[in-house]
């Protein structure tokens, strides 16, 4: 089949759904690739790059839609593009099915298939096709860069001869993919970073990235994300009030606020109110990544940057991924390619649209002349629910002593048994073996026993450096080789030289591995 990618018609959209690299991979699946001329120019991919990758370049969008069996694009199709969709054709793109009933019905009536990339279920197997996460990752990173571009200070604190610069304080609201990307970028730039999310289970992940998680003094049973595909769910009014109270407390302290909170198929919840904006310091910045869905800040204007009367800059751009078009296109094209891999299981260029497959069914919003949105819940939960463990019983001092005594007796019994069995085996071997052999054999057995005891009692994390040192020390065999290197036999000299060479590698390599491994456990 032919997979085609038209040039994006939305103003300011620089991304493209097919790159030369992804085209090469699609051709390995048995498909032919076609692209509209200059479709990838804004993302840094020339027509020559596509031709060199074996892609056919056509001059017009009309010719592309006519030639392609599968049309892969980035943005939701326009009405003009929907008119070009024909029976039996497959469209893969962002589609906004929750608010796009008209185009879904059009596609169903025409007998076309529509795969909405934002509907890919968030399960482990589908991560490679999760275009929302790919784009959110870029948006989170770019949000911090845009904030820094509009902020009047360094992110990191500095003490210079000219004066002291305090570190910026950044609050990230929402610790999803975009939020975590923003947290990582902010902390790497040296800012003091705070993060909030209605899902308390993400606190460890936030803190592992160097940020401080903002906890509320409020108890509410929160969903773990499994039922909502890994997204946060709607909170109760009481929880929302506690959340807003915490934000009002933080507003005068923070310099930069990045909001990322979205709930699927709903308007963005208002989290940063007008009074919070008024409480912020002049020169502060708000980046609202939910601007396309109405914004988390009441004052956000979609696709614009405004400055309030008290000097707070509010950025409501919706094209953050498009501002990094080369990177975004590469990731999105890879998502499309993986989707096509699932749709072409035999790698024979023939699409098998298996509606029993969780991923394909979840992403398909129109198929076989029917609107198939919304999809049923995936058979595999997005996040495995952790069973609650019963609380451990608190032991008394007497019970602890009894347990320790029982463990000591068991250990002693096993050691005595092991020594008895070993002694019996040594006695059995001594009855038939010569005395010269027994001297070496006893040394060997004791060495094995001591080595086993030493390694057994070492922490698992140190096994590799321990074995590296052991290998280096065991290379004492080099001494024996040096004693034999002066032999009159050429074969003995050759073997001794090889022994010296290999033992030398063992010595230096062992200590190098040890040094590198131990360096991993040192704090930078």
Q: Which of 15, 122, 142, 199 is catalytic?
A: 122
CB 208 within 8 A of CB 190: no
Q: Which of 46, 124, 127, 461 is catalytic?
A: 127
Inter-helix orientation angle 435-456/397-432, to 10°: 160
Q: Match 């933080």 to its residue by tokens.
A: 250
| Rounded CA separation 290/267 (Å) | 9
Omega within 30 of 0 (cis) for the link into 374: yes
**Catalytic site residue 127?**
yes
Rounded alpha-carbon distances, angstroms, from residue 79 to 74, 85, 103: 15, 10, 8
Q: Which of 15, 1, 3 is nearest to 320 (CA)?
A: 15
Q: Match 């495995």 to its residue by tokens.
A: 384
**Catalytic site residue 133?**
yes
CB 254 within 8 A of CB 281: no
**Catalytic site residue 142?**
no
**Catalytic site residue 130?**
yes
CB-based burial of residue 434 (10 Å sphere; 0-12 exposed, 13-18 middle, 19+ buried)?
A: exposed
Q: Which of 93, 130, 328, 337 is catalytic?
A: 130
Q: DSSP alpha helices (H): ranges in 344-390?
A: 358-363
Q: Which of 133, 235, 327, 329 is catalytic?
A: 133
Q: Which of 42, 53, 48, 54 is nearest to 11 (CA)?
A: 42
| Rounded CA separation 263/199 (Å) | 13
**Catalytic site residue 328?**
no
| Rounded CA separation 5/369 (Å) | 23
Q: Which of 360, 327, 363, 2 is nearest to 140 (CA)?
A: 327
Q: Which of 47, 49, 222, 231 is catalytic?
A: 231
Catalytic positions: 122, 127, 130, 133, 231
């Amino acid at each position: 089949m032919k997979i085609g990618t038209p040039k994006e018609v939305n103003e300011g959209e620089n991304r493209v759904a097919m790159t030369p690299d992804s085209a090469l991979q699609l051709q390995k699946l048995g498909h032919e690739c076609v692209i509209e001329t200059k479709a990838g120019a804004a993302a840094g991919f020339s027509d020559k790059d596509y031709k060199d990758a074996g892609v056919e370049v056509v001059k017009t969008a009309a010719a592309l839609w006519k030639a392609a069996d599968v049309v892969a694009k980035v943005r939701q199709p326009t009405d003009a593009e929907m008119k070009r969709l024909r029976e039996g054709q497959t469209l893969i793109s962002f589609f906004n099915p929750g608010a796009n009933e008209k185009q879904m019905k059009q596609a169903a009536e025409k007998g076309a298939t529509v795969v909405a990339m934002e509907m890919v279920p968030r399960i482990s197997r589908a991560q490679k096709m999760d275009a929302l996460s790919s784009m959110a990752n870029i948006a989170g990173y770019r949000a911090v860069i845009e904030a820094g571009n509009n902020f009047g200070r360094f992110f990191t604190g500095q003490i210079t001869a000219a004066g002291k610069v305090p570190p910026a304080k950044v609050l990230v609201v929402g610790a999803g993919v975009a939020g975590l990307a923003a947290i990582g970028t902010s902390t790497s730039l040296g800012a003091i970073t705070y993060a909030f999310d209605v899902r308390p289970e993400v606190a460890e992940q936030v803190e592992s990235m160097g940020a401080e998680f903002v906890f509320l003094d409020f108890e509410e049973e929160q969903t773990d994300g499994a039922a909502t595909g890994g997204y946060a769910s709607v909170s109760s009014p009481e929880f929302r009030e506690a959340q807003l109270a915490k934000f009002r407390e933080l507003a005068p302290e923070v310099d930069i606020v990045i909001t990322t909170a979205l709930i699927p198929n709903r308007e963005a919840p208002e989290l940063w109110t007008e009074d919070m904006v008024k409480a912020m310091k002049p020169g502060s910045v708000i980046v609202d990544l939910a601007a396309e869905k109405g914004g988390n800040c009441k004052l956000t204007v979609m696709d614009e940057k405004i400055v309030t009367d008290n000097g707070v800059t509010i950025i409501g751009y919706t094209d953050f991924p498009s501002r990094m078009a080369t990177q975004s296109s590469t990731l999105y094209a890879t998502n499309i390619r993986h989707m096509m891999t699932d749709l072409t299981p035999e790698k024979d260029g023939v699409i098998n649209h298996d509606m029993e497959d969780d991923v394909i069914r979840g992403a398909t919003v129109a198929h076989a002349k029917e609107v198939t949105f919304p999809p049923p819940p995936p058979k595999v939960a997005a996040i495995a629910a952790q069973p609650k463990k019963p609380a451990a019983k608190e032991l008394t001092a007497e019970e602890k002593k009894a347990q320790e005594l029982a463990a000591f007796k068991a250990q002693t019994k096993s050691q005595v048994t092991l020594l008895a069995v070993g002694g019996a085996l040594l006695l059995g071997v001594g009855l038939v073996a010569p005395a010269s052999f027994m001297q070496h054999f006893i040394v060997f057995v004791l060495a094995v026993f001591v080595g086993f005891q030493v390694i057994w009692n070492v922490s698992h994390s140190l096994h590799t450096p321990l074995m590296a040192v052991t290998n280096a020390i065991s290379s004492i065999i080099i001494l024996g080789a040096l004693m034999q290197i002066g032999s009159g036999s050429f074969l003995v000299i050759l073997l001794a030289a090889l022994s010296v060479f290999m033992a030398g590698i063992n010595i230096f390599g062992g200590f190098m591995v040890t040094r590198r491994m131990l360096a991993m456990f040192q704090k930078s």
